[in-house]
Structure 1
Amino acid sequence: MHIRTYEKDEIVFFRGDPSHALYLLKKGTVSLDIDMAGNFENLTSIKSGTALGESCLLKDANRLLNAYVTSEQAEFYVIPQDNIFDIFESSPKIKLKMLESLAEMYNSYNMNLFNAYQASRGFFNLRQVYQTEG
């Protein structure tokens, strides 16, 4: 793990970048957005104490969102993917706790998705969310 400092408007990562580290925001504010046909849509802003880049918990995953600093400065604890997997290997309790946290986050995202679907009166095809490859 190491500490990394970013300045205002600096990119932490881009959508599509390889996901090789987990970022724990120690200080500052970061915006997460998605680019759709050249337009950027802000999804949320996160503050200190929040983790981002959880896709690094999956091997060979890429970033799903863009992350950039909106405060004057942001400071992160950066944990490389290899270190995370080493920790999981040596401490099954930590791995279990992380999986529980991810399951809670997944459940929360699903609830938000269903609420958005209901509020939009079925404006998008919810079935697409549940399609699996192959």
Structure 2
Amino acid sequence: MSDKQQLIGLELEPYHFDVEKGKIKELAMAIGDDNPIYFSEDAAKKEGFEGIPIPLTFLQAIDLWGGYTFDKKVEVLDINPVKVLHGEQEYEIIGDIYAGDHVTVTSKVIDVRVKEGASGGMNLITTENIYTNQHDKKVAIARSTTIERH
């Protein structure tokens, strides 16, 4: 059993993020998505949205700008930053998130697995983030696996 398995169930401090249409536009431009719903409220409403929606991967921007930067995550999980890799990322979109929304994120460690390989062992630490809007409605879940090589 890895000493990292004691992290299972660890709840990280919640964080908040105010979704801005400028940040939505920045991400859409960065990923080359020119869909007008990310740039114009009129275009978004014409397509049936209540306002300017976020691109699906915008949850990463919420985490980076509002929550756990790499340095903070390394500190909280007590992992060696030079031995860390991003393993996988999974998003479950439950509801729409729009420009102007106030999102609260709760995060916890849900799994720690130890794997042994030819070049040594590694800890696979999975965290789960739950995103709730200002109406206390769960709008998304993200699961991320961080790999720490031994």
Higher gyration radius (CA): 2
Do both proteins adopt the same fold according to a TM-score greater than 0.5, normalized to the shorter chain? no
* Structure having the larger proportion of residues in helix: 1
Structure ranking higher in strand proportion = 2
Q: TM-score, normalised by structure 2?
A: 0.21
TM-score normalised per structure 1: 0.23
